[in-house]
Structure 1
Amino acid sequence: MRTPVLLSTVAALALGLALPGLAAAQDAAGAPPAPVLDIVRRATDLPPPITTVGPRHHIVNLETTEVIGQVEDGTTFTYWTYNNRVPGPFVRVRVGDTVEVNMTNAADNAMMHNVDFHAVTGPGGGAAATAANPGETKSFTFKALAPGLYVYHCATPMVSQHIANGMYGLILVEPEGGLPAVDHEFYVMQGELYTEEEMGTPGLLTESVEHLMNEQPTYYVMNGAFKALTGDNALQAEVGDTARIYFGVGGPNKISSFHVIGEIFDHVYRDASLTSPPITDVQTVLVPPGGATVVELKFEVPGSYIMV
């Protein structure tokens, strides 16, 4: 019988879980309550490795939305998202592939949005081509020229505000031949929420540009919300399994010292460079805002582990 292993998240302020939203927010004018969404992206929500022979043409459809999501039980926030989740969808291509991006700014949004892919070679990473007012759809196409794991994010001014509110994700450009096989792959991103109210205040929180500019987050979050990757959402494996974690930092301000308490990373693709040999036996990986890393580990001892 195989023995389970659980990885869950924690942080000094908060890294964490959003429960499905049954509560609702009421605005000051007494309008009907808006629905509260579960904006958490599950760590297992990513496409499998590419197996088809290339070159390939990928179509990436993104919708930018401004929605009320649950930060923690009884506490909500107005997130700005790609496809109603934080982080946005995990995009997976292979070097040499063509990527067509269609970005729709939902008609009921208040803000202009766009998307900047760090995997794009060319000015702006697609930001200018996709700048869309509410109700508009903009498109562009690029060729994935360099393998690696890259951040994408909204680059509409004030850029840090759009990122802090949830507009970030990862795109993986696999090298030729792909990556070595593992038993599990996971998608995890760290972000920050800046609010006028203190952590744990019930009701709809108010974003704070002042705290954002002063780099004073109310919450650190993994995959969008408080305790997002705990309980049923924890990363699960069995003793003897190998796992690869695609980890990025949306930011916009804080560095991550990425570490699994009680484990050692067997392989680390430093700065998410997939064409350089990985370094081995690493305890902690520093990842800057707008950066990423790829780590691999084998679970040899059963139990529950904390990922920070």
Structure 2
Amino acid sequence: MFDTSRRRMLQALGIGGVASVAGCAGAPQTESDPPSTGSAPVQTDTGTPAPKQTDVDSVAADPADLPDPVDRDSTATVEVDLEVREVTAEVEPGVTFDYMTFNGTVPGPMVRVRRGDTVELTIRNPEGNGMPHNVDFHAAYGTGGGAEATGVNPGEQNKLKFQARYPGAFIYHCAVPNLDYHISAGMFGMILVEPEDGMPEVDREFYLGQHELYTDKATGEEGHHGFDFQAMAAEEPTYVLLNGEKYAYAAARYGPLEAEVGETVRVFLVDGGPNVTSNFHPIGNVWTKAWPNGAVAGDPDRFAQTMKVAPGSCFVGDMELPVTERIKLVDHALSRVARKGLLAEIDVAGPENEEIYDPDFGGSRHDDPMYS
């Protein structure tokens, strides 16, 4: 799709081979710390735990797998099923971690309803899991957003009913006493409560979740990474991620995502945290419309470059796509991109428009006699 001269510009933000030490000290397990999940790690000759055998190929939610916009003029009852899955998967090749998830993905599935709808939730915690869980919906009036009513031990299920009375994009997350650990390990997602009149139509939508992992090894160090409570208390993450894995939906992993010239794309971002504020920016583009704090009932900001998304909040933003390019979705605290694993990419295919963007104007600089 891209010739060499165009690719040079798009590679200005390199990601290859960059790893950094996060300064995370190992925290001993206590009775309040969770038991490990998955198969036991194998000891290597050096004493370093090797990667565990994984339970799943990936925990990274497909950003294009989200519900369609609500297409009705009246309220309804929407059934939502959330199953807690404690699984071992790779953060990046050669690095495993014990995740906690809703329905097996990070973020958990996007729930989409209309203002006034009634949500009937079923939460299940299978017998094979090692910990209790629950769920707090920021879209729900009620104690703990439903957390106190939805507690489930392994082998149990529970139910909750609430009416979505106010519009917006809201986080849901596990809220047991070690909630910061459970959220960091993957237990968060988004519920979108659309206004009665819906939202402006777009051609494509993508759904992303940002969070941090705090582990007992350096970023990129091969082997099985245990959780580090001291690093979390110090807010020193080993990884900062979109959708649970390093560069999950970049070209080098499961991506890039795809779109066409002339389309409008909407991006939903939920920031699970538990601690880091996102500075969400599309490199090579701009948020033509931006709804900070997920406040979709209000008028959007226009032509916003970088939007802050606090832990426990959401963002909704639209982009217009007038030219072919590769858009890099980043946290503009750029060390998180270059060294901690946060990046998603969208390839925009179609006819070039040199009136808007001409990377070869005047020829490559290497054709200039100065550089020969």
CA distance in structure 2 between the partners assigned to 1:291 and 1:33 by the alignment? 34
Match of 2:287 in 1: 265
**Pairing 1:116-155 to 2, within 5 Å after superposition:** 116-155=136-175
CA distance in structure 2 between the partners assigned to 1:99 and 1:13 by the alignment? 43
Which structure has the larger Rg over C-alpha atoms?
Answer: 2
> How big is each residue's C-alpha offset from its partner over 1:44-72, in whole Å with a ceiling of 9 and x where there is no partner?
01010111342111110001111101101
Confirm or deny: 8 A CA contact 1:267 1:297 kept in the other structure.
Answer: yes
Cα distance change of structure 1 residues 82 and 147 upon mapping to structure 2, 3 Å threshold? same
Kindly tell me the number of residue pairs found equivalent between the two proteins: 292
**Pairing 1:4-19 to 2, within 5 Å after superposition:** none
Percent identity, aligned pairs only, is 41
Partner residue of 2:186 out of 151, 154, 166: 166
| AA of the residue aligned to 1:299 | L
CA distance in structure 2 between the partners assigned to 1:13 and 1:59 by the alignment? 43
Match of 1:27 in 2: 41
Deviation at 1:94, TM superposition (A): 0.3
| AA of the residue aligned to 1:282 | A
Match of 2:367 in 1: none
> How big is each residue's C-alpha offset from its partner over 1:242-296, in whole Å with a ceiling of 9 and x where there is no partner?
0111111000000000001111111111211111111101000001000111101
Deviation at 1:214, TM superposition (A): 0.6
Cα distance change of structure 1 residues 65 and 84 upon mapping to structure 2, 3 Å threshold? same
Partner residue of 1:202 out of 201, 204, 222: 222
Cα distance change of structure 1 residues 26 and 252 upon mapping to structure 2, 3 Å threshold? same
CA distance in structure 2 between the partners assigned to 1:256 and 1:50 by the alignment? 28
Is 1:72 matched with 2:92? yes
Match of 1:224 in 2: 244
SS of the aligned residue for 1:125 comes to: helix
Match of 1:288 in 2: 310
Which ranges of 4 or more aligned residues in structure 1 deviate by more than 3 Å?
7-14, 24-29
Match of 1:252 in 2: 274
SS of the aligned residue for 2:81 comes to: strand
Is 1:187 matched with 2:207? yes
Cα distance change of structure 1 residues 290 and 10 upon mapping to structure 2, 3 Å threshold? farther
Confirm or deny: 8 A CA contact 2:214 2:236 kept in the other structure.
Answer: yes
> How big is each residue's C-alpha offset from its partner over 1:17-42, in whole Å with a ceiling of 9 and x where there is no partner?
xxxxxxx954369xx95534310101
Between structures 1 and 2, the one with greater strand share: 1
- Name the structure, 1 or 2, with higher relative contact order (CA <8 Å, separation 6+): 1
Match of 1:112 in 2: 132
Confirm or deny: 8 A CA contact 1:37 1:68 kept in the other structure.
Answer: no
SS of the aligned residue for 1:130 comes to: coil
Deviation at 1:13, TM superposition (A): 7.2
Confirm or deny: 8 A CA contact 2:73 2:196 kept in the other structure.
Answer: no
With normalisation by structure 2, the TM-score equals 0.75
Extract unaligned runs of 5+ from structure 1: 1-6, 15-23
CA distance in structure 2 between the partners assigned to 1:180 and 1:27 by the alignment? 49
CA distance in structure 1 between the partners assigned to 2:91 and 2:186 by the alignment? 12
CA distance in structure 2 between the partners assigned to 1:207 and 1:87 by the alignment? 19
Match of 2:355 in 1: none
**Pairing 1:48-87 to 2, within 5 Å after superposition:** 48-87=68-107
> How big is each residue's C-alpha offset from its partner over 1:175-211, in whole Å with a ceiling of 9 and x where there is no partner?
0121111000110111100100111122221110110
Cα distance change of structure 1 residues 33 and 277 upon mapping to structure 2, 3 Å threshold? closer
Cα distance change of structure 1 residues 243 and 158 upon mapping to structure 2, 3 Å threshold? same
CA distance in structure 2 between the partners assigned to 1:265 and 1:227 by the alignment? 21
Pairwise CA RMSD of aligned residues? 2.3
CA distance in structure 1 between the partners assigned to 2:156 and 2:40 by the alignment? 28
Confirm or deny: 8 A CA contact 1:58 1:98 kept in the other structure.
Answer: yes
CA distance in structure 2 between the partners assigned to 1:289 and 1:130 by the alignment? 22
| AA of the residue aligned to 2:88 | I
Confirm or deny: 8 A CA contact 1:26 1:34 kept in the other structure.
Answer: no
Extract unaligned runs of 5+ from structure 2: 1-9, 21-37, 44-51, 331-372
Confirm or deny: 8 A CA contact 1:10 1:306 kept in the other structure.
Answer: no
SS of the aligned residue for 1:88 comes to: coil
